[in-house]
């Protein structure tokens, strides 16, 4: 129905049905800190990773050589094409498992739907797009849950597995490691432009292609080469996800702005004030960042832009950088770039310079 060339019915603009788009609708880093403060600590020795380190997924040991990796992610429409929205949401949820070095096993759909205003045929297209990406990941979709909602919501619970001794976390990075980012930044700004009619959907093509690309190949390259730490870059933006890695690893970082891969049009749109609220909250939370004098206010927004289905951020020993980049190219991640390095401290601090 929706998205078919011969369909004569007016097309529903999904992005007009909510206040935010994609992962930019998440609670901000400061707000999440307040929420997590109320969670009880976890003392079970089978729990290898929980919310305490703000990693990408929970990891629960089943045996000496098997552990479950579990995550959940859902959000409001980020594009108007329903199949693309479903595909992006699926790739985004699967990314958390890949960021832990895991293999997805199965998924459950999560749906909130305005039953009286948006036809269920549109939901069918969302589910179709998600199913196609899940099939590409060899991840079974076994069911799900739906509710009547005032705004459209879609996402997935994903369950995967990982060897406990081979999992990737955000807490193993070392002083001197290089930082490699595998996808370009700017999806939050572009999706906000689409929502505000400042960008045609055709202008989202590069962003959609990036957001629907699985991080499977990047994770495989990271495991083959041997990285120190990994996380995926999503709603809190590059610098806030990096902060979690720095605090978990007890190091600091230097970032080269000119090395950052950035989607076309993102800087120009941000310069016109087209910036998601999530990105603005991310910038307010980045209070341990030292900005060089020539890093403009627009540059800063790109560094914290709220990403949806972003790339992996990898910390890798210096001698493994070239093998990692070669493995990433072989895994069809051409945007991968060395964007900075880790330093001794102060722990958690980030310095952003025009170039290093």
Q: Which domains does the chain have, with CATH numbers?
A: 14-162 (3.30.1330.10), 178-353 (3.90.650.10)
171-212 pLDDT per residue, tens:
999 999 999 999 999 999 999 999 999 998 888 999 999 999
For the whole model, what pTM was predicted? Answer: 0.92
Sole residue written with tokens 């120009």 = 268
User: Partners of 337 in the beta sheet?
Assistant: 181
- Please tell me the distance from the alpha carbon of residue 347 to that of residue 48, in angstroms, as a whole number: 23
Over the range 114-130, which residues count as b (16 or more CB within 10 Å of their CB) and which as e? beeebeeebbebbbebb
Nearest in space to 50 (alpha carbons), one of 201, 170, 197: 170
Residue 160: alpha-carbon gap to chain centroid: 17
- Please tell me the distance from the alpha carbon of residue 132 to that of residue 115, in angstroms, as a whole number: 24
> How many CB atoms sit inside 10 A of residue 10's CB?
7
Residue 315 near residue 225, CB atoms below 8 Å = no
97-140 pLDDT per residue, tens:
999 999 999 999 999 999 999 999 999 999 999 999 999 999 99
Give the chain's residues under pLDDT 70: 1-10, 20-29, 32-33, 36
Q: Would you name the residues annotated as active-site residues? A: 23
């Amino acid at each position: 129905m929706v998205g078919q060339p011969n369909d004569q019915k007016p097309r529903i603009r999904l992005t007009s049905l909510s206040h935010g788009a994609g992962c930019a609708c998440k609670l901000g880093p400061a707000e999440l800190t307040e929420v997590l403060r109320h969670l009880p600590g976890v003392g079970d020795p089978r729990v290898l990773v929980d919310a305490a380190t703000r990693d990408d997924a929970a990891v629960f040991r089943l045996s000496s050589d098997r552990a479950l990796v579990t995550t959940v992610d859902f959000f409001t429409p980020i594009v108007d094409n329903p199949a693309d929205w479903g595909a992006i949401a699926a790739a985004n949820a699967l990314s958390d498992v890949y960021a832990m070095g895991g293999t997805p096993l199965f998924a459950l759909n999560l749906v909130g739907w305005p039953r009286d205003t948006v036809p269920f045929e549109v939901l069918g297209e969302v589910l179709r797009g998600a199913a196609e990406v899940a099939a590409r990941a060899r991840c079974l979709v076994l069911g799900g849950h739906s509710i009547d909602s005032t705004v459209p919501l879609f996402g997935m619970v994903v369950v995967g597995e990982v060897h406990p001794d081979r999992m990737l976390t955000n807490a193993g990075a070392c002083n001197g490691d290089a930082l490699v980012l595998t996808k370009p930044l700017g999806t939050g700004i572009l999706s906000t432009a689409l929502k505000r009619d400042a960008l045609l959907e055709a202008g989202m093509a590069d962003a959609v292609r990036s957001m629907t690309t699985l991080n499977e190949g990047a994770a495989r390259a990271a495991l083959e080469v041997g990285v120190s730490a990994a996380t995926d870059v999503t709603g809190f933006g590059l610098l806030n996800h990096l902060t979690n890695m720095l605090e978990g690893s007890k190091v600091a970082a230097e970032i080269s702005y000119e090395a950052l891969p950035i989607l076309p049009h993102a800087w120009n749109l941000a310069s016109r004030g087209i910036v998601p609220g999530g990105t603005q909250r991310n910038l307010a939370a980045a209070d341990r960042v030292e900005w060089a004098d020539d890093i403009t206010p627009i540059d800063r927004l790109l560094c914290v832009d709220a990403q949806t289905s972003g790339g992996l951020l990898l910390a890798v020993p210096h001698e493994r950088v070239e093998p990692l980049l070669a493995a990433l190219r072989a895994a069809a991640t051409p945007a991968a770039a060395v964007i900075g390095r880790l330093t001794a401290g102060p722990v958690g601090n980030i310095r952003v310079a025009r170039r290093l």
